[in-house]
Structure 1
């Protein structure tokens, strides 16, 4: 992200400087003055955006906390267990790694990133216990992280919240597009990981480069600190599974949502957010959750999250504001906009597509800048596309760095290739479905 941030700012400055040298005072404000104004306005706009996001973020994380306390993660874990034992034949059915991976996927599907990361680190630690070649990724690790980078998001709560804060008339209208794109990305992630494994055989690291036992222990200690009490909260009942026919019906139900959401997405979109509110509250009551107290606890986390993103939003929105005010964006649109637009990818959305695998905060800032641009807006085709990209893909390089770093894996084999292939599939899927529904 350091390089990306510097490149954007430097490109904007050099473009504005070139235009300044050729500027005629009779034409009005100078490019450098416009650049200065854009920097100040973008910084203020980033803070206003984050403050406006506080209320919506606290609402959604409060509802998610009710679902989590009610055991929704465990229910999902039991549903997908029969699929997991087939995807990961190297992992014993009752091994702790299996339960941790299931909970990680379930948390990701619900948009519970704060819960997904500790479960993911725990899964990698358990998978490493089965690894005969320390320091080298196993096929199970590569497949697990490839699926993670494909996002497998069924409920992109963060993106919906940001769209609502940006004034969208239908903030949940991206649910059908996100579902389609994430299914494409996840399917390709699994296929790519299984295929690429044949081309990247396991080659153990030299003995001198293999992680030492004490180093591994230290890495696990750091991970345990990051997990806090989440690690101890892994439900033991998540290792059990529902009967196969129940899981099959649930899978068919999810697959059936894809054509229904495509055909009737615009009709059901206004019902989604009120329905989620009522549904989660009733679910919590049915499970004996003290919904008011738990909602408030989750809302506190949402408030903190919204405030923590202010520095990231200021940095990226100032850089993007400079890029646009300098004329660099206009030049890029002029050069390649016609070609990419013919493929369904407007030039304004290109930075978002390129940044998403590199930096979650950077892509988040670019999306926020686009949907808050009065000339584009959250409900335009471009606004829908970047919202779908944000909700249906993951920050590949960040995921690999955090999860492999927790167990000191240096030879990642085909993991990155599978993750980037999934990212590409998600982008293509997002373009196709957005063209179909909003193009």
Structure 2
């Protein structure tokens, strides 16, 4: 992000300087416009964050109730039968499995702050099963491909931002996000499973020692078999982050029914999305409160605790919003952004990706804060706004795709993996499919 930020500012400065020195129009003052853009963009970023405080506190308060009521555990039990089939090389009772399940469950609920610690712990545990330290395993590649495809069913952060900007239907992106994230996740899983046949791990060395043998796939299968036979793990280890992960999932047919139910919701939300949208936010509020009551949660105290976190989150993002909105504002005022978008727009516009949304689509895999800032700037602009086609498209892109390079850098950096094999290819495939699905569904529903 350091390089991206520097490039944006330098490009804006050089473009404005070139115009200042070459344009003969006395009324044209590019450098003065650049200065005004930097100052006004900084003020807009602070106003945006302050407006976001209330709705962010509301949504994080509700999510805190769901978390305290054990919704993560419920999702973990639902995902467990599927996870054991997706990751056959990971023993069902190994801490890596529990950490991955909690990571996916947190992502599904839009709890990004909780998902990252679980993801790092999962990578650390997967590395203990790695016969080739420093090289990504198939399980690591698949895990990160799913992560970068977002798998978000409740894009609460984007809904909160849309509400703070005065959207008439903040939750209108729920069906579009669900559609796009499903296709992105499917593409990520498929590409990871296909590419692993071509990107083979290094051949085992003769001097790898007994430790490598104990971490081989055969030994892991033996450990899994021993677990199934005795009912206890072959090696007891602490559960990730002190959170109790259920050792047994729901019966397979229960998980299958829930999955079919989610898949069945997609066509319903597409067909009746505009009718359902006004009900979504009131329904979420009532649903989470009733869930908390049913689970014995002191809903008022827990909600207030979560709302405090929402207040802090909204304030913490101010510096990031200032940085990226100033950079983008300067780039736009200098004319450099218009030139760049003008070069690509003839290629992307026929595909349904309008010029206004193009910077967001290009920056999303590189920088989460940068993409968030561009999305906020687009929806703040009266010419686009949150409820136009462009506003709905960038909201869907933000909710249904992930910051690929950030995820890979953080997760692989935590375990010092340098040979990532097919991970990046699978992750970028998920990104491209996610963008295509978002463009298609937003264009179909809202054009």
Q: Please confirm whether the aligned pair reaches a TM-score higher than 0.5, indicating the same fold.
A: yes
CA distance in 2, matches of 1:36, 1:20: 13
1:49 corresponds to: 48
Deviation at 1:29, TM superposition (A): 4.9
Alpha-carbon distance in structure 2 between the residues aligned to 1:324 and 1:351: 11
Aligned to 2:210: none
Matching residue within 264, 272, 277 for 1:264: 272
**Are the equivalent residues in 1 in contact too, given 2:78–2:255 (CA < 8 A)?**
yes
> How far apart, in 1, do the equivalents of 2:352 and 2:294 lie?
45
Counterpart position of 2:92: 93
| 1:429 equivalent in alignment to 2:426 | no
Where in structure 1 are there 5+ consecutive unaligned residues?
208-228
1:29-428 pair list within 5 angstroms: 29-203=28-202, 231-236=240-245, 238-428=246-436
State the 1:234 CA deviation.
2.0
The range that moved more, 307-316 or 397-406, is 397-406
8 Å contact 2:96–2:123 — kept in the other structure?
Answer: yes
The alpha-carbon distance between structure 1 residues 132 and 314, as it changes in their structure 2 partners (threshold 3 A), is same
List structure 1 segments (4+ residues) > 6 angstroms apart after TM superposition. Answer: 204-207
Q: Distance in 2 between matches of 1:113 and 1:366?
A: 19
In structure 2, the CA distance between the partners of 1:264 and 1:203, relative to structure 1 (3 Å rule), is same
Q: Deviations over 1:242-288 (max 9, x none)?
A: 11211111000000111011111111111111110111001000000
Residue in structure 2 matched with residue 223 of structure 1 by the alignment: none
Distance 1:232 1:22, change over 3 A: closer
| TM superposition shift of 1:230 | 9.6
Which string of whole-angstrom CA distances, capped at 9 and with x for unpartnered residues, describes residues 30-56 of structure 1? 121111111110000001101111111
1:12 aligns with 2:20: no
TM-score by length of 2: 0.90
Report the alpha carbon displacement of residue 334 of structure 1 after superposing the two structures with TM: 3.6
- Asked whether the 8 Å contact 2:187–2:430 carries over to 1, the reply is yes
Cα distance change, pair 10–206 in 1 and its aligned pair in 2 (3 A): farther
Structure 2: 5+ residue runs without aligned partners?
207-237
Normalising by structure 1, we get a TM-score of 0.92
Q: Secondary structure at the match of 1:131?
A: coil
1:123-161 CA distance string (max 9 Å, x none): 112211211111111111110111001000000011111
> What is the aligned-residue RMSD (CA, Å)?
2.2
Per the TM alignment, residue 76 of structure 1 is displaced from its structure 2 partner at its CA by 0.8
In structure 2, the partner of 1:212 is: none
Report if the CA contact (8 A) 2:99-2:240 is conserved: no
Out of 328-337 and 365-374, give the one that drifted further. 328-337
Q: Distance in 1 between matches of 2:343 and 2:189?
A: 36
Give a deviation string over 1:78-99, Cα, whole Å, max 9, x none.
Answer: 1121111110010112222111
Is the Cα contact below 8 Å between 1:79 and 1:241 reproduced in 2? yes
Is the 1:115–1:230 contact (alpha carbons within 8 Å) kept by the matching residues of 2? no
Closer, same or farther in 2 for the Cα pair 1:308/1:204, shift >3 Å? farther
Q: 1-side partners of 2:15 and 2:205: how far apart?
A: 49
How many residues align? The count is 421
CA gap 1:171/1:431 in 2 versus in 1, 3 angstroms = same
Indicate conservation of the 8 Å contact 2:66/2:288, yes or no.
yes
Distance 2:243 2:125 in 1: 13
Residues 134 and 204, structure 1, Cα contact 8 Å, conserved in 2:
no
**The residue matched to 2:391 in structure 1 has which SS?**
helix
State the Cα distance separating 1:204 from its structure 2 match. 6.6
